[in-house]
């Protein structure tokens, strides 16, 4: 019995000693190592981590840290781990810009990731990504870090657009009813309507845009019936064309 008692005392003493050791300043979370953050500022990440002065590394809440950093607009996913004796390691994967959603006036653009989350606002749109024109109400209701509503179809179609059609499209538009329209080079429009068959619509659109003479005075390409597009031409243009002919 005495042996067991003293063994218990030794074990408890060791536990207390180890606990006290890990609470010592040598094991405080005094260093932060951040990688993968190109668009997210170090200051924003440090604020999200909220590491108290002399915070013991062993008791730092990694789950809360991951949640807080993950709520930053550019952050798609994050890992937060301990690196003994005193480092919190943060590995960030940021969102890829998928499109910019702007007001009809073009005065403000919400830059969004592939998941539709708004990562920033700009007065001018970024280059090299699809531009989607939405209603003022859609832009006004959006906020950084949240999914923008009302443009999911336009985003999906613009992301799936074949490379051969990309040079033809200048901007996309999406209204409150989900009707998607592509503004084409020149003055024509391609109306995708609300049909969930945009891959067939792409084939139909490509056959028209590669048609040469079919582009004369073209005003609207109605793709609401995916495999049977309807062409609408500008009457004044047609009259002028006939007069010249």
Proportion of the chain above pLDDT 90, given as a percent: 61
For domain 97-244, is the CATH number 3.40.50? yes
Cα separation, 175 vs 161, in Å, equals 19
User: β-strands 189-193, 118-122: how paired?
Assistant: unpaired
Kindly indicate whether the domain formed by 2-94 is annotated with CATH number 3.40.50.300: no
Give the per-residue pLDDT at 244.
64
**Could you state, in order of their start, the residue ranges of all structural domains in the chain?**
2-94, 97-244
Whether pLDDT at 223 is above 60: yes
pTM: 0.80
Q: Which residues pair with 174 in a beta bridge?
A: 180
pLDDT in tens, 67-120: 999 999 999 999 999 999 999 999 999 999 999 999 988 888 999 999 999 999
Between 176 and 56, residue with greater pLDDT: 56
| Banded model confidence at residue 6, pLDDT cuts 50, 70, 90 | very low
Q: pLDDT tens digits for 11-50?
A: 454 443 344 444 445 468 789 999 999 999 999 999 999 9
pLDDT score for 168: 93
Statement: residue 9 has pLDDT above 50: no
Instruction: Average the pLDDT over 202-217 and give the result.
Output: 82
């Amino acid at each position: 019995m005495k042996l067991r008692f003293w063994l218990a005392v030794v074990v408890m003493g060791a536990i207390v000693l180890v606990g006290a050791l890990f609470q010592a300043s040598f094991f405080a979370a005094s260093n932060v190592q951040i990688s993968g953050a190109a668009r997210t500022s170090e200051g924003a990440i440090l604020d999200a981590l909220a590491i108290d002065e002399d915070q013991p590394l062993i008791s730092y809440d990694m789950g809360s840290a991951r949640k807080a950093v993950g709520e930053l607009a550019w952050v798609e996913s994050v890992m937060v781990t301990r690196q003994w004796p005193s480092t919190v390691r943060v590995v960030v994967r940021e969102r890829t810009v998928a499109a910019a959603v702007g007001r009809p006036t073009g005065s403000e653009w919400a830059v969004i990731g592939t998941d539709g989350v708004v990562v920033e606002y700009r007065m001018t749109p970024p280059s090299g990504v699809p531009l989607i024109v939405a209603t003022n109400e859609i832009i006004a209701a959006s906020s950084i870090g949240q999914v923008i509503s009302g443009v999911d179809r336009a985003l999906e179609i613009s992301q799936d657009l074949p490379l051969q059609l990309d040079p033809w499209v200048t901007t996309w538009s999406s209204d409150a009813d989900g009707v998607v329209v592509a503004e084409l080079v020149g003055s024509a429009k391609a109306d995708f309507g609300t049909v969930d068959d945009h891959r067939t619509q792409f084939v139909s659109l490509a056959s028209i845009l590669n048609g040469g003479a079919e582009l004369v005075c073209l005003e609207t390409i109605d793709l609401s019936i995916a495999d049977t597009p309807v062409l609408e031409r500008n009457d004044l243009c047609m009259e002028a064309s006939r007069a010249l002919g």
